[in-house]
Amino acid sequence: MRLHRNLVFATIDSLHLIFNEEKQADKVLKNTLKRDKRWGSRDRSFIAETTYDIVRWKRLYAEIAEVKEPFSRPNLFRLFTVWATLNGIKIPDWPQFEDTPTRRIKGKFDEFSKIRKLRESIPDWLDELGVKELGKKWDGEISALNQLADVVLRVNPLKATVKQVQNELLDNDIRTEAIKNVPHALKLKERANVFTTDAFKNGWFEVQDASSQKVAQFLKPEPGMRIIDACAGAGGKTLHIAALMENKGQVVAMDLYENKLTELKRRARRNGAHNIETRVIDSSKAIKKLIGKADKVLLDAPCSGLGVLKRNPDSKWKLQPEFLERIKNTQQEILTSYSRMVKPGGQLVYATCSILPSENKEQVNLFLTSEAGKDFTFVKDENIMPSTSGFDGFYMALLEKTK
């Protein structure tokens, strides 16, 4: 592979914004990729994938390059040099790459590969937490979470069948394959931009990881039910629920943030989902009005996001232990307050995209032994681990309210 100056510079500029100005990687890349209309899909992939790779391996590469944050521009080039060397890419003779110590880079890589927190490129505190919560399993999970995520689609049965989506994408040279036990999922065989296809624009599918698709399946929505998705965000799971209900009955999609619900409504129109009502949670009244009113409630709670680290590698560096403590309190508050919306005999699903027991099973157990949880019984739960599933890490628990 030959390195092109403007693509390397665009990567370095993106890294500067992500590392030194704490900007979100996906937003930075969205802007960077707008910079030059002449860039083709390969150029864009180079910038995006290289930037994400260097974000993912920041600690390891910084230790190898012997550079510290905040990274000066020459130091960002040193990180880039480590990336290129370890990926077997020939370093060009530009002034920025003078005296690249190729052998030393490879030697240090071998040396650091023996130390998990360096090999997996994670902060000390996260490594300690992983061991505390998952013991021996942590090794395999953090390694799986450092792999590049697959692109998975969820076919929208309100608009198309799986076969129709597969054929339509094939006409665009995009090959897909089915995923066992996830009936509406299609995995891309090679990465491609699916957002420019007519099939996407017409609402035939959404991009949604296979593990995330299992949450609505686990909830088992039925046509005619009233379902509350209380942490709906931009509606990834709301749209799935609406589709499984065949547009019959009602989905109430709630969130603290109006802008997320606005995006949800836009997506619902594209999906042809007509049974969704959005409600902003602007006071406790929003919840009180719905006490005892739902056949099923989904609590897709805010969490550490550790299960989706492959997709958001920059959260390794943004996540803080204090945030984790705060979010656990929020999870328990959400369980305590929002569970009241389940009607007698109804069901509650608590889900997170975390792999930590303290955000998952332990939260459910705490709730079940609390005053608020006394009317609920535990039915079943499922831990989806990245190492065994190959997809994102997720947790889901099904509880039932006594009649």
Ligand X SMILES: C[S@@+](CC[C@H](N)C(=O)[O-])C[C@H]1O[C@@H](n2cnc3c(N)ncnc32)[C@H](O)[C@@H]1O
Under the binding rule (CB under 6 A), the answer on residue 234 touching ligand X is yes
Under the binding rule (CB under 6 A), the answer on residue 243 touching ligand X is no
What is the total count of residues that contact ligand X (CB under 6 A)?
17
Choose which of 147, 330, 377, 388 interacts with ligand X (CB under 6 A).
Answer: 330
CB nearer ligand X, residue 182 or residue 334: 334
Under the binding rule (CB under 6 A), the answer on residue 255 touching ligand X is yes
Shortest CA distance to 141 belongs to which of 303, 382, 355, 317? 355
Shortest CA distance to 197 belongs to which of 176, 212, 180? 176
Under the binding rule (CB under 6 A), the answer on residue 300 touching ligand X is yes
Q: Give the Cα separation of 65 and 82 in Å (integer).
A: 7
Structure tokens at 310: 């492959």
Known catalytic residue: 303? no
Q: Judge if the upstream peptide bond of residue 70 is cis by omega within 30 degrees of 0.
A: yes
How far is CA 178 from each of CA 34, 154, 161, 186, 329, rounded to the nearest angstrom? Answer: 33, 10, 12, 5, 38
CB nearer ligand X, residue 81 or residue 339: 339
Query: Residue 22: which residues within 8 A CB-CB, separation 6 or more?
Result: 318
Q: 229 and 238 in contact (C-beta within 8 Å)?
A: yes
Choose which of 260, 293, 340, 361 interacts with ligand X (CB under 6 A).
Answer: 260
CB nearer ligand X, residue 194 or residue 253: 253
Q: HSE, CB side, 13 Å, CA atoms: give it for residue 233.
A: 8
Structure tokens at 158: 């309100």
- Contacts with ligand X, 165-184, as mask; x by CB under 6 A: --------------------
Phi then psi dihedrals of residue 265, to 5 deg? -65, -35
Structure-token match 């209900």, residue found: 245
Under the binding rule (CB under 6 A), the answer on residue 236 touching ligand X is yes
Q: Shortest gap between Cβ of 365 and ligand X (angstroms)?
A: 21
CB nearer ligand X, residue 302 or residue 393: 302
- Contacts with ligand X, 214-233, as mask; x by CB under 6 A: ----------------xxxx
Under the binding rule (CB under 6 A), the answer on residue 343 touching ligand X is no
Binding site for S-adenosyl-L-methionine, by residue number, is 255, 282, 300
Q: Shortest gap between Cβ of 346 and ligand X (angstroms)?
A: 19
Q: Give the Cα separation of 17 and 2 in Å (integer).
A: 25
Q: Shortest gap between Cβ of 227 and ligand X (angstroms)?
A: 13
Residue 206 β-bridge partners: 154
Strand ranges (E), 102-175: 152-155
Give the footprint of ligand X on this chain (CB under 6 A).
Answer: 230-237, 255-257, 260, 281, 300, 302, 330, 334
Which amino acids are annotated catalytic?
353
